[in-house]
Amino acid sequence: MRQRTDGTGFATRAIHAGERPDPTTHAHNTPIYATATFAFDTAAQKEEAVDRALAWEPGQYFYSRTSNPTNRALEEKIASLEGAEDAVVASSGMASVSATLFAHLEAGDHLIVGDEVFAITKVLWEEDLPRRNIAVTPVDMCDLGAIEAAFLPNTKIVFIETSTNPRLRMPDIAAIAEIAHRHGALLIADNTFLSPALLRPLEHGADLVLHAATKYLSGHGDAVSGVVSGSKALIDPIRKQTDTFGQAASPFSSFLVLRGVRTLPLRTAAGSANAARLAAFLEADPRVEWVRYPGLASHPDHALATRLLGDRFGAMLTFKPRGGVEGMAAFTDHLRLCDIGVSLGDVFTLVYPRPKDGAIIRVSVGCEDADDLVEDFALGLSFVK
């Protein structure tokens, strides 16, 4: 088979990295290796494969919970896009979060975590980690002084979201990395809201970066998956934890995420442009109390976002219509194009009403025509009093 290259550009690697025509059939797409086990010609061959796979040597397969070729293709693609030595996929974003924390924390350790994070991540640090005698301190990750003050002699990890859920604050990754490393701690960044198409936290000093691959990496709302990337020395314990906890990714999900990542740069450009248009539209409407979008000059972290992201600020925005819960519901319940949904990162625009968070609305802006989105949002706002 002829020699091949992944190219060097991000879009080229999003398409080619980790994938080659199947060596057996020459199928152009990476196959779904729908198998639980792998067969061997001899007992000795089996023992060698098991030993090498459990030493976390890439490309060694004996049982799909531990390793699978479809999953490995996705790991290689994401590692390339993140600029990482290795990556490991898991059954969901929370599988990646929990495996990462349990791999690098033990009883008696201390974790510093952002005080605004995904709801189930919050459950993990409020309930599960304390039961295992792991102390947790939530901190405003945009307050460097508070982060510094939160360190204890047993602090092992600082965990941040690169764009917080749901108010889209953006911490200074490089500054936090410097603080964490000075104290001998790891910095772990959840980059789900931005994706490597916009931001690669490892380039700014983070030690590990993870994603709910369900979201922007997949991009089509049809797969549940997670991935974490970093040095092989840090990934190997996470790979072991993922295996031990039975959190293996489905090869079918990895096949879908592989397909999705190929269009990540295109979807990112379209979603960012649409979100910028909607954010400006909403900010100018008197029926809207406030809009949070990193691309707006009114965003508290706009200068930092510009430095980190350039001129594309992602496809997530959050706003608060007037009228409290009634105003929130009046907007969402009268939309005709955009659906109410709790996820994000889809090609479809999804609105997520959050009455318990102050009657705000989180919007995952999709790839529809911007004029159609503005028309639908104008319709929703016409019912806000």
The answer, yes or no, to whether the previous bond of 166 is cis (omega within 30 of 0) is yes
* Assessment of whether the complete model's pTM goes beyond 0.85: yes
In angstroms, the CA 106 to CA 104 distance is 7
**In the CATH hierarchy, which fold is given to the domain comprising 10-33+68-261?**
Aspartate Aminotransferase; domain 2 (3.40.640)
Same fold, 10-33+68-261 and 265-381: no
Q: What is the pLDDT along the chain (385 residues), one digit of tens a residue?
A: 578 888 999 999 999 999 988 888 889 999 999 999 999 999 999 999 999 999 999 999 999 999 999 999 999 999 999 999 999 999 999 999 999 999 999 999 999 999 999 999 999 999 999 999 999 999 999 999 999 999 999 999 999 999 999 999 999 999 999 999 999 999 999 999 999 999 999 999 999 999 999 999 999 999 999 999 999 999 999 999 999 999 999 999 999 999 999 999 999 999 999 999 999 999 999 999 999 999 999 999 999 999 999 999 999 999 999 999 999 999 999 999 999 999 999 999 999 999 999 999 999 999 999 999 999 999 999 999 9
CATH number for the segment(s) 265-381: 3.90.1150.10
Radius of gyration of the chain (CA): 22
Residue spans of the domains in the chain: they are: 10-33+68-261, 265-381
Q: How many CB atoms lie within 10 A of CB 16?
A: 16
Nearest to 157 by CA among 70, 83, 98, 221: 98
CB 198 within 8 A of CB 314: yes
Tens of pLDDT along 86-114?
A: 999 999 999 999 999 999 999 999 999 99
